[in-house]
Amino acid sequence: MYKVLIVDDEPKQREGLKMFIEWENYGFSVVDTASNGEEALEKYRMYSPELVIADIRMPGMDGLQLIERLREEDPQLHILILSGYADFEYAKKAITNRTDGYLLKPVDEDELIQYLHRIKQMIDEAKKTSLWQNVSKEWTREAFIQSILSGSMEHDEFTLHEQADRLGLLWRKYQILLVVSPKDEKGATNEVNVLRRKLSARFEECGRGYVFSHQGYVGVLLQEPLLEVEHDDVYQELQGSGIAEFTVVLGERVKDLSDIPLSYTSALELIKLQFFFDRGRILSGELLSKLRSHTADREAEEKCTNNAEEQLYYAVEVGNLDAIKQLVVEFGHTLIRRHFSEGEIKQRYVELLTLIHGRELKQRPELQSQSKGYCDRVADIYRVRTIGDMFEQVESLLRSIASPLNEDTGRHREVRIMLDLIHRNFRDNLKLETLSGIFNYNSAYLGKLFKNETGEYFNTYLDKVRIENAKEYLEEGLKVYQVAEKVGYTNVDYFHTKFRKYVGTSPSAYRKKAGNE
- At 380-437, the pLDDT tens digits run 999 898 899 999 999 999 999 887 655 555 556 778 888 888 888 888 888 888 788 7
Task: Measure Cα distances from 486 to 356, 388, 399, 450, 471 in Å.
Answer: 19, 39, 29, 25, 12
The identity of residue 118, as a single letter, is R
The answer to the question of residue 346 being in a domain is yes
**Tell me, what's the pLDDT at 91?**
56
Q: Please tell me the distance from the alpha carbon of residue 27 to that of residue 164, in angstroms, as a whole number.
A: 28
**Tell me, what's the pLDDT at 441?**
80
Tell me whether residue 176 is exposed, middle or buried, using C-beta atoms within 10 angstroms of its C-beta: 0 to 12, 13 to 18, 19 or more: buried
pTM of the model: 0.57
The number of angstroms, rounded, from the C-alpha of 389 to the middle of its chain's C-alpha atoms is 10
For the segment 369-388, what is each residue's pLDDT rounded down to a tens digit? Answer: 888 888 889 999 998 988 99
For the segment 100-159, what is each residue's pLDDT rounded down to a tens digit? Answer: 888 888 888 999 999 999 999 999 888 776 655 554 433 588 889 998 998 766 656 777
Q: Please tell me the distance from the alpha carbon of residue 117 to that of residue 37, in angstroms, as a whole number.
A: 26
**Tell me, what's the pLDDT at 413?**
73
b/e sequence 476-509, b meaning 16+ C-beta within 10 Å = eebebeebbeebbbeeeeebbebbeeebeeebee
Paired with 250 in beta bridges are 177
Indicate the number of domains in the chain: 4
The answer to the question of residue 419 being in a domain is no
The distance between the two most distant Cα atoms of the chain, rounded to a whole number of Å, is 102
* SS3 at position 55: strand
**Tell me, what's the pLDDT at 137?**
38
Q: Domain check: are 375 and 281 in the same one?
A: no
Q: Domain check: are 253 and 307 in the same one?
A: no
Alpha helices in 200-320 (DSSP H): 231-239, 260-272, 285-293, 298-318
The answer to the question of residue 485 being in a domain is yes
Q: Domain check: are 452 and 390 in the same one?
A: no
User: 244, 265, 292 — which closes off a domain?
Assistant: 292
Residue 205 CB coordination number (10 Å) = 8
Strand order in the sheet with 175-180: 209-214, 217-222, 175-180, 247-250, 282-283
**Tell me, what's the pLDDT at 309?**
76
Q: Please tell me the distance from the alpha carbon of residue 46 to that of residue 40, in angstroms, as a whole number.
A: 10
Exposure of 334 in the CB half-sphere (CA atoms within 13 A):
20
CATH number assigned to the domain comprising residue 258: 3.30.70.270
Residue 33 is classified by DSSP as: E
CATH number assigned to the domain comprising residue 509: 1.10.10.60
Is residue 47 within 8 A of residue 188, CB to CB? The reply is yes
Q: Domain check: are 451 and 332 in the same one?
A: no
H or E stretch at 99: none
Q: Please tell me the distance from the alpha carbon of residue 58 to that of residue 83, in angstroms, as a whole number.
A: 10
Q: Please tell me the distance from the alpha carbon of residue 45 to that of residue 42, in angstroms, as a whole number.
A: 5
Task: Measure Cα distances from 511 to 480, 486, 505, 508 in Å.
Answer: 8, 15, 10, 5
H or E stretch at 29: strand 28-34
The answer to the question of residue 417 being in a domain is no
Which residue stretches of the chain have pLDDT < 50?
A: 135-138, 184-187
The range of the structural domain enclosing residue 29 comes to: 2-124
Q: Domain check: are 342 and 459 in the same one?
A: no
Note the residue count of the chain. Answer: 517
Is residue 237 within 8 A of residue 248, CB to CB? The reply is no
Q: Domain check: are 309 and 258 in the same one?
A: no
